[in-house]
């Protein structure tokens, strides 16, 4: 097993972003199915890079930096193209909340690391649940078409709204954990 496999998987996730975009905008009937598949493949690389890094203890500073960046780029890109395709107020709110939370928590983690308190804002379990709902929601929304009579897009919207609520909840948990340090520095 290559020591760099987790990093290769993470880099491949970044490379899949323009591939997803190309498929999404291709003027063919199956473009949404392909874009959804590419997004799902990117999601699998996210799971696998962490799995292999933990299993083989092949952590790297590069991977620690790029993994969350790849996640945020993939999700943000997908949400933006979905918002562009379905410009509704609820889609805009969900996109703004999810992207805003990612920016806020990234900045919070960086600031807490500067204070030597990085572990104060470790990943919470609700954040992991939020990610699962978010990934399925986006995959279903990208797919868009009904499948065997199942309203995939409607299910995707429902999952996105649940993911948005979990996003707010997880942001509250992070901010609550950081509040004592934030209060001291005001």
Tell me the pLDDT tens digit for each residue of 32-51. Answer: 999 999 999 999 998 888 78
Q: Is the pLDDT of residue 120 over 70?
A: no
Cβ atoms of 80 and 95 within 8 Å: the answer is yes
- Looking at residue 87, what DSSP letter applies? -
pLDDT digits (tens, 9 = 90+) for 152-175: 999 999 999 999 999 999 888 888
Tens digits of per-residue pLDDT, 7-40? 888 889 999 999 999 999 999 999 999 999 999 9
Joined tokens for residue 65: 């930096």
138 near 38, Cβ under 8 Å?
no
How far apart CA 186 and CA 175 sit, in angstroms, is 14
Give me 173's structure tokens.
Answer: 């948990």
Contact 118, 161 (CB under 8 A): no
> How many whole angstroms from its chain centre is CA 115?
26
């Amino acid at each position: 097993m290559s020591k760099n496999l987790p990093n290769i998987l993470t880099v491949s996730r970044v490379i899949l972003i323009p591939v997803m975009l190309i498929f999404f905008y291709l003027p063919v009937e199956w473009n949404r199915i392909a874009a959804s598949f590419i997004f799902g493949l990117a999601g699998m690389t996210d799971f696998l890079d962490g799995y292999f890094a933990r299993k083989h203890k092949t952590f790297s500073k590069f991977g620690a930096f790029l993994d969350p960046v790849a996640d945020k780029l993939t999700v943000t890109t997908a949400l933006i193209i979905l918002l562009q395709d379905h410009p509704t107020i609820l889609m805009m709110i969900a996109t703004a909340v999810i992207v805003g939370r990612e920016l806020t928590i990234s900045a919070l983690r960086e600031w807490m690391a500067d204070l030597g308190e990085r572990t104060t804002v470790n990943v919470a379990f609700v954040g992991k649940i939020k990610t699962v709902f978010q990934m399925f929601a986006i995959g279903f929304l990208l797919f868009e078409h009904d499948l065997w009579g199942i309203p995939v897009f409607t299910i995707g919207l429902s999952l996105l709204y649940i993911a948005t609520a979990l996003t707010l909840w997880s942001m509250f948990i992070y901010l609550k954990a950081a509040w004592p340090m934030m209060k001291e520095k005001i």
